[in-house]
Structure 1
């Protein structure tokens, strides 16, 4: 009986204090994650990667962007920089998310699969979220580690503690997306919030795929 109690307590503590980040976070976000996306103009097409690298300049280097084209700005300034021409370079906004984590938001509806491989080399972890809510299309929550895509986060036993208590409506696109964002907030030690998108990140031009 004692062993069972210890196991239950350990599971609860892991949920409250994610092992990878070392930063205590609430079990659930203080603000609805979809509402955050809506308020920042990201809801209808949200493509982003959670990367276990804290240095945004290192993330940009791995994405092979030209340093002279990078601009320090917040998300809204990055989104306003969008041009109408389809011939313009694809862009992304990179921000420090938490200790040991960055967030890459792709701004032009295009998220190359090859980026996950580049970003995860050297034992790093990358999680992909791709959702177009307007047409009810969402990809699985893919996980790449050290250059190898091993499937979804749900296939990884080490991450079970981050999602096995969640009860979102997975039959809906919104329910799936809210679950994904809650899981990744627990993993990284920080949920999406207004301060994140108001922080200074890097607007970068991505090389051709």
Structure 2
């Protein structure tokens, strides 16, 4: 959200298009919000958790804001590594569900929120907590690849290769961020 907002404002100031970056950054922000809302629906947080979330937002938003002003490349790289940690965390979570270490989440009758079913369009019979974690982990893997790729690009000139109307898509070369955890190099995208 921070990067999308800053790029939006920069685009307005320069009176130039953004080459499709804003769209992807805001989509990522929306997706991450859905992750949080899904988990919050499952536990109905009290005032303490809501206060912690508010405090974390204040600190993280401002830290990313300043970081993005100083170096968008480093910020995207950091977010890519943060997403890598999320992939590891969800992978460990899947293993623990399989082992029965999380009995509540291992229960096939555990109800995941309707919000998640609707957002991920989860089919009937594939609505367990394990299924939900697979969807979220896949999202995080995409975010990881997107941010590493964006870090590898020229921040002011290069097009975003993940937007729907990316020029190279016509030639059949639209990069899939989930397939390249370290991100695509600039030569892969531009060349």
Normalised TM-score (structure 2): 0.26
**Which of structures 1 and 2 has the bigger CA Rg?**
2
Normalised TM-score (structure 1): 0.24
Higher RCO structure, 1 or 2 (CA under 8 Å, sep 6+): 1
Give the structure with the higher percent strand.
1
Give the structure with the higher percent helix.
2
